[in-house]
Every structure is written in C-alpha cells, then in structure tokens.
Structure 1
C-alpha cells in the first residue's frame, strides 16, 4: 500500500480505513491515535524512506511504522 503513494500524498478513504484498523494494533496505539484520526498521509522519513503519518483531529501528526502494527 505504501508504494502506491508519494511523499505528500493524502491516503485514499479506502486505504485509510485499513490503516485505522491496523493502527489499533500498534504497540503505542493510544499515543499514536491521540484525540482521534482525521486522515492519513505519506511523508518522507529517515534515510530517504517514506512512511505513513496519522493526522489527528486536533491538528497534530505522528508517524508510525506499519510493520509495528502486525
């Protein structure tokens, strides 16, 4: 899924639904979700890679590893 997006892209509603369920399984889910999920985006990460970011309802963001969710 990550490879379908470029840094700066907003994740589609269909993929966001899958990510929201996966994020619930993250070891730091409560911290990552915070006050609630607005949507997801893809941004650059360390070492030239890219990763998913959760955009929260209060305007804050947090990156997360999708591999930590499985």
Structure 2
C-alpha cells in the first residue's frame, strides 16, 4: 500500500507515520503540567482539525494547549478552552482518524 501524505497547515509529511512520530516527539519534549508553546500550539490546532471528533474537542474555542496526565500513567495533549473547560485528545487520532 502506498504511503499517504498528510498536512497540518503548512507542515507536510510524506507518510502518516512521519506525522505521528513528529507529534509524539513534540509531546515528549514537554513535562506533565507544561503549557505548549505558541508555535507548537499552531501545529496542534491544524492537527486537531483532522481529529474525528474535532468539533467536540475544540468546543467553544481554544485558548492554548497543555500536556497533562492521561490514562495508565501516560501523558497527552489537552485543549484548554475559552470557557475554562479542558479536554484531552489523542494525537494519533489526528493522524489516523
């Protein structure tokens, strides 16, 4: 099966696996409790648009992203919304659906 390219805004990847690895590396450069930088946040906004539940995850609007604890001792990206609510999301779902 041929590789499937994917883009997050102006950021283009030849293969979905490369995009998933990029987001995984981004996640692991932050510690639990960190706020994601505005540059990385721009990439996450574009990636989140590909999430199968993007509308639910974005909700009323995004202020910023953070890294927090997830299930089973892992960590993941969280959306911090304009109304003060938060929602976790799997970066792999932004790539693979």
Q: TM-score range by the shorter chain?
A: over 0.9
After the TM superposition, which residues 9-28 of structure 1 pair with which residues of structure 2 at under 5 Å, given as runs? 9-28=34-53
C-alpha deviations, 1:3-62, integer Å up to 9, x for none?
000000000000000000000110000000001010000001111100000000111000
Equivalent residues, number = 70
Q: List 4+ stretches of structure 1 deviating above 4 A.
A: none
| 3-state SS in 1 of match to 2:92 | helix
Unpaired stretches in structure 2, ≥5 consecutive residues: 1-25
TM-score normalized by the length of structure 2: 0.71
- Pick aligned residue for 1:52 from 62, 74, 77: 77
Greater RCO structure (CA 8 Å; 6+ sep): 1
Larger CA Rg, structure 1 vs 2:
2
The CA distance in 2 between the partners of 1:35 and 1:45, in whole Å, is 22
TM-score normalized by the length of structure 1: 0.98
